[in-house]
Structure 1
């Protein structure tokens, strides 16, 4: 499908929207993707006034399949507990759009895509991307779908960073914005964990300098270790203790290096299942985009300046009490900057022991908060 053919006609729709050569994506690095594919999924219908569109931005390893069944995994969409009939984002009321980020591996242009100059996958010839580049591609998609103003843009983790970037770059296109479990920039600790993961991938002999697809191999061991290390940061010590403690996999110790403890087996499973659905080079590029994210630096070092033109946007900022990857203090920094810029912002810290991943999980307080914010904002929008 090309940009001219993109429509929003069915209850559940999607595909890949292609911007041909000459209509590609300008990048913060100074480069350009001359042609661009954006894979997306929609739920619900766009109303006649085109005022009910919601953009859902996904986290690092997620994709465009926020609801329904993911065709790649056969599992429910990653936000099926929020997007669906009777849920906070109800397709009966809203037209919901979710796109795979540029640099991803589920249909949008990324390092596994074919480089038109060589006929081979880009690999490390793919240009470095940023959160702003991802948002720029999303804005191209939204415009191609005939949407001038989004009722809401919402996301958690990396998705929350995209929300902040939308508010900074396209405030005139937003009625509301919901940022969940995110931060205005990546901390030294965040960068450090990502570097461990990248080094694990690049140390795998099958990485082949990023050209593993041409060689017909995959750096599965390195990618699995990267996922294991990252997954620890998505949980909390309390959640790990509650779920696993020091419980053994079997009676007695192996007196070796098998997975004696249940937590070890869990992490190995997370790593092994991850390599079946994600591309190693995409992991390198997307984690780098997160590391480069620093919204204040883009605006003279003052975070409030990023929101200077967003006074008409209604903001909701949410954090989780046990999130040590993006702790509540960083969400409070966002709220203070919004207040300093004169923006309307509500804030809530969700009490939970589930850590950073709480926005994926059964968390009634989060559901209620989202439901309340969307209901009141929809009323103000006249939906």
Structure 2
């Protein structure tokens, strides 16, 4: 992992668009409808006259629309600033890049913390349960708003990769290439178990108030922090934890107690507390549950549309990722290759576990750059 050498995009802005309304509501997979859907999004680069150079970024569980550059007065870059920008693998001198906060999120897009027009109160647990396909429908609506009929590529890691896969399977004519990093097409029992414990930590917090904490002025802060702390353990490999912390203590002399004595404990405490300022507990419940039920290859004829109109796939895994191990990626590849779809696969060496897809790893970035260079050549 190394520091980015290419320049940043500089100051960028988050925009908002209403993509569904009462005249054209969003019909969800559950059968429920939403009469108003607002989407927060950012764009980088310039859309060409042919509108053919657009790339869509799908973010992971706790991501948002701010993928690259800086917000005015903020020195914190977007969550994928090492990947997106001038001269970077997703080169904004060449590509027009779009990234939006997903449906059910809490960073400007309609979600369970939004106001329910029918009641004037936050939806809370009255917000309908979601499906990855619902995320895709909102992405597509934003594309229509921006006047983009087809993306040269759709890119995402983890939950973002699930969105990419679903989009390609449902609407293959709308993307030329699909880039899927550190993702899964079906969670294992262990994956589901981690998320279940995180949700229980939130819902058993007295501040959860049966999901109505936004209206009652409480908050499940302890539960959400614990959920984040536990999840963060799954994002790093044992090698990464050992390299970063080992058994380093916080004190000159360790005396057994129940406080925060080890450096790794302090790190997890910091991650949990930091999470409280930027994420909503309800969104955490809804988005983790979406992942549990995702199993797109189980649907009869799931690949029929793709077989009729093939999309090129790049699937990348990381050898130390035990949250979504290489076997999860290989399962995606087996289904795609079994259907005769053009699929490239690469396992990248990394000591950083699941979070590797967010980092600047030379082999990883070189792979993405080369793959998108070929996509650019197709546009010439």
- TM-score bracket relative to the smaller structure: over 0.9
| Structural mapping, 1:87-98, within 5 Å | 87-98=88-99
Counterpart Cα distance in 2 of 1:22 and 1:106: 25
| Structural mapping, 1:314-333, within 5 Å | 314-333=312-331
- Match status 1:48 vs 2:57: no
Counterpart Cα distance in 1 of 2:163 and 2:127: 21
SS in 1 for 2:149: coil
Counterpart Cα distance in 1 of 2:283 and 2:187: 18
Aligned residues: CA RMSD: 1.6
2:12–2:71 contact (8 Å) kept in structure 1: no
1:255 Cα deviation (Å)? 2.2
Match for residue 4 of structure 1? Answer: none
- Match status 1:344 vs 2:346: no
Counterpart Cα distance in 2 of 1:305 and 1:220: 45
Please report the TM-score for the alignment, with normalisation by the length of structure 2.
0.94
CA deviations over 1:198-223 (Å, ceiling 9, x no partner): 00001111110111111112111100
1:295–1:306 contact (8 Å) kept in structure 2: no
CA deviations over 1:30-72 (Å, ceiling 9, x no partner): 1011111111110011100000000000000000000012579
Please report the TM-score for the alignment, with normalisation by the length of structure 1.
0.93
- The 1:185–1:372 alpha-carbon spacing in structure 2 relative to 1, beyond 3 Å, is same
Match for residue 252 of structure 1? Answer: 253
| Structural mapping, 1:19-98, within 5 Å | 19-70=20-71, 75-98=76-99
1:362 Cα deviation (Å)? 2.5
Counterpart Cα distance in 2 of 1:70 and 1:64: 12
Match for residue 357 of structure 1? Answer: 355
Match for residue 17 of structure 1? Answer: 17
SS in 1 for 2:148: coil
The count of aligned residue pairs is 369
1:296–1:306 contact (8 Å) kept in structure 2: no
Match for residue 5 of structure 2? Answer: none
| Structural mapping, 1:227-238, within 5 Å | 227-238=228-239
- The 1:31–1:261 alpha-carbon spacing in structure 2 relative to 1, beyond 3 Å, is same
Match for residue 161 of structure 2? Answer: 160
Counterpart Cα distance in 2 of 1:355 and 1:13: 31
CA deviations over 1:139-182 (Å, ceiling 9, x no partner): 11111211111000000000000010011111011111100000
1:254 Cα deviation (Å)? 3.6
SS in 1 for 2:117: coil
| Structural mapping, 1:209-288, within 5 Å | 209-288=210-289
SS in 2 for 1:37: strand
Q: Which stretch shifts more, 355-364 or 249-258?
A: 249-258
Counterpart Cα distance in 2 of 1:199 and 1:73: 34
1:223–1:271 contact (8 Å) kept in structure 2: yes
Gap runs ≥5 in structure 1: 1-10
- The 1:305–1:262 alpha-carbon spacing in structure 2 relative to 1, beyond 3 Å, is farther
Match for residue 183 of structure 1? Answer: 184
Counterpart Cα distance in 1 of 2:72 and 2:123: 25
- The 1:231–1:34 alpha-carbon spacing in structure 2 relative to 1, beyond 3 Å, is same
1:359 Cα deviation (Å)? 1.1
Match for residue 203 of structure 1? Answer: 204
Counterpart Cα distance in 2 of 1:325 and 1:89: 25
SS in 2 for 1:193: helix
Match for residue 293 of structure 1? Answer: 294
Counterpart Cα distance in 2 of 1:137 and 1:276: 26
Gap runs ≥5 in structure 2: 1-10
Moved over 6 A (4+): none
1:42–1:98 contact (8 Å) kept in structure 2: yes
1:275 Cα deviation (Å)? 0.7
1:303 Cα deviation (Å)? 6.4
SS in 2 for 1:151: strand
Match for residue 128 of structure 1? Answer: 129
1:239–1:353 contact (8 Å) kept in structure 2: yes
Match for residue 307 of structure 2? Answer: 308
CA deviations over 1:297-352 (Å, ceiling 9, x no partner): 2x22x7655743442x1111100000111111111111121112121111110011
Counterpart Cα distance in 2 of 1:197 and 1:249: 27
Counterpart Cα distance in 2 of 1:276 and 1:74: 17
1:73 Cα deviation (Å)? 7.0
1:242 Cα deviation (Å)? 1.0
